[in-house]
């Protein structure tokens, strides 16, 4: 199967900001000896059969979520509050986003808006 050039994935500037925020968080947690998650914690969400799996996920602040499209049809990942948005993801393309602050982040595939998911970020 021929694959298209992957063209999604990273936001360099946002990634840098997230890395800095994670460093600050880590430093703060070290000082106060709290149980902050280790920097670089990662979770995976699969896009398959026109659905996000898992559809609902709860992660700690600082977690990076990586979405991968396994369908032959393009999909996208776009937050309802516009805090993150991928470009169109062809087969095997990935998109990642680091969730810094707590909150509930509803998102959809803008190509197929009936596809919904939610990320809960909790300490």
* Contact residues: other proteins, CB under 8 A: 1-2, 4, 49-51, 71-74, 76, 80, 87-88, 90-91, 106, 108, 110-114, 116
Distance of closest approach, residue 39 Cβ to other proteins, in angstroms: 31
Distance of closest approach, residue 48 Cβ to other proteins, in angstroms: 9
- Residue 63 or residue 91: which is nearer to other proteins going by CB? 91
- Residue 1 or residue 13: which is nearer to other proteins going by CB? 1
Distance of closest approach, residue 77 Cβ to other proteins, in angstroms: 12
Residue in this structure with the two tokens 């799996």, named with its chain if needed:
53
d(CA 58, CA 45): 11
d(CA 80, CA 37): 26
- Residue 62 or residue 74: which is nearer to other proteins going by CB? 74
DSSP characters over 90-112? -TT-EEEEEE-S-EEEEEE-SSS
d(CA 3, CA 80): 29
d(CA 60, CA 62): 6
- Residue 31 or residue 72: which is nearer to other proteins going by CB? 72
């Amino acid at each position: 199967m021929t694959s298209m050039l992957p063209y999604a994935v990273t936001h360099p500037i946002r990634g840098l900001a997230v890395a800095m925020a994670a460093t600050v968080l880590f430093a703060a947690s070290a000082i106060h000896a709290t149980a902050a998650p280790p920097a670089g914690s990662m979770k995976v969400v699969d896009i398959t059969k026109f659905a996000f799996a898992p559809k609902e996920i709860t992660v700690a602040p600082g977690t990076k979520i990586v979405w991968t499209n396994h369908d032959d049809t393009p999909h996208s990942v776009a937050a309802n509050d516009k805090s993150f948005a991928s470009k169109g993801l062809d087969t095997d393309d990935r998109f990642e986003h680091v969730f810094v602050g707590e909150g509930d982040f509803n998102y959809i595939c803008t190509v197929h808006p009936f596809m919904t998911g939610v990320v809960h970020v909790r300490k």
